[in-house]
Amino acid sequence: MKIKAVVCDWAGTTIDYGSRAPIIGFQQAFAKFGVTLDPALIRQDLGLDKRAHVQKMLEDAAIWQPISQQLASTSQQFVTDTVYKGFQETINQALVETAILKPGVSTLLAYLTKKHIAVATTSGYTQAMIEKLLPTVASQGYHPRVNITSELTGGIGRPHSAMLDLAIKRLGLTDSSGVIKVGDTINDIKEGVAAGAISVGVVEGSNLIGMSETEFTALPQSEQTQLKVAARAQFYASGANYVVTTIADVIPLIEA
């Protein structure tokens, strides 16, 4: 099979080791209403469209009640819109600060360029967030040809295949059989599976481990290994075709 395109997620996959920007953004947005969010709670659904992610967290009565009381509203849409707007405001600075290419990304990009394999992205971020990221990653040599968010698919995000389907279409491809979808969350894997693409999970720096590079490398080797084994198991349980340690390990998959 000839690989024609690699479609990547953003935070935790190609940039932002440990996928920290969404955590920072959500924590600060909810903190405005006196709600302290556990990072583990946020990470459960990372990869979703961010508005849908806000809705999901507001389903928790312990989160919903204090916020709805402060806003004096029982309208789910109003409360969701208000918190989501706050998230959009708080994440901007974190986006730029964490938009550093992860280890192995430059190696993969050089290989894909040499082999004339297209690069695209899908994301739970909004178009405005992606536009904010693009100049920063461009200065590091990352120039994805196509960038798709749920705003371009009528609000349909992961784990549905709509964003990946559109990315494939905009790349000028007629099917997903020669497409690799790379991500660091369970929803990334499900998106790839739903589209019929080759779904690949990246372990190091992923949302499933959820640690900065400094935090992770400071751990004893035995603990690093345990975390990587657990992440691999979660990826495969979600339907991943392959799981790699770093994104550069996608190269031997393509060669094979």
CA distance 84 to 196: 31
Q: Which of 104, 114, 100, 128 is nearest to 18 (CA)?
A: 100
Candidate list 4, 50, 181, 228, residue with the active-site label: 50
Active site residue 9: yes
CA distance 204 to 146: 25
- Angle (CA) 164 4 232, round 5°: 60
Is residue 249 flagged as an active site residue?
no
Find out whether 189 and 240 touch, Cβ atoms under 8 Å: yes
Instruction: Cite the active site residues.
Output: 9, 50
